[in-house]
Structure 1
Amino acid sequence: MKTLLGYLGFVLIAGGASGLLSGWTGGIRLFGFVRFLVPSAHETAGYATLLVLGALLAFPAARRG
């Protein structure tokens, strides 16, 4: 279970970070599926939320071993 939470946390962190960088720089999107999780009018807040949720999932999973 902890590895699943770690993987899910990593995907959310990487997706949120790539979405923020893509929005700020106008570059390509690496994780295209996360655009379905974020409302189109609130990209910055949505990707930041994904980043925080990913951290909340990944850090406890990494701390347990």
Structure 2
Amino acid sequence: MKELLEVLGFLALVQGVLGLVHEFSHWHVGLVQRIGFLDGYEVYAGVALVVLAFALFAAAESRRSG
């Protein structure tokens, strides 16, 4: 379970950062800009994904391995 939380946290962190990079540098990377209902809210979605990633990392650290 700990490894799953870490992987999900890593994916959320990567997608959140790529969403912010896309919004501020207009590189076409990440999945946030491809989701239609987030049109206009990409910055908020990127920040939410980064915060979610840190919450998942904290939850993974609180779990025992094995």
Contact 1:6 1:61 in 2 (8 A): yes
Which structure has the bigger radius of gyration? 2
Equivalent position of 1:9 in the other structure:
9
Residue of structure 2 in register with 1:58 after alignment = 57
- Given that 1:38 and 1:46 are in contact with CA atoms closer than 8 Å, whether structure 2 keeps it comes out as no
Number of matched pairs: 63
Report the CA distance shift for 1:14/1:5 in structure 2 as closer, same or farther (over 3 A). Answer: same
- The percentage of counterpart residues that share the same residue type is 30
Query: Where in structure 2 are the equivalents of 1:38-53 lying within 5 Å?
Result: 39-53=38-52
Structure 1 residue runs of 5 or longer lacking an equivalent are none
What is the aligned partner in structure 1 of residue 23 from structure 2?
23
TM-score normalized by structure 2? Answer: 0.78
Q: Deviations over 1:25-49 (max 9, x none)?
A: 01121x33x4439611211011100
Provide the alpha-carbon RMSD of the alignment: 2.1
- TM-score (norm: length of structure 1): 0.79
Alignment CA distance shift 1:55-1:25 (3 Å): same
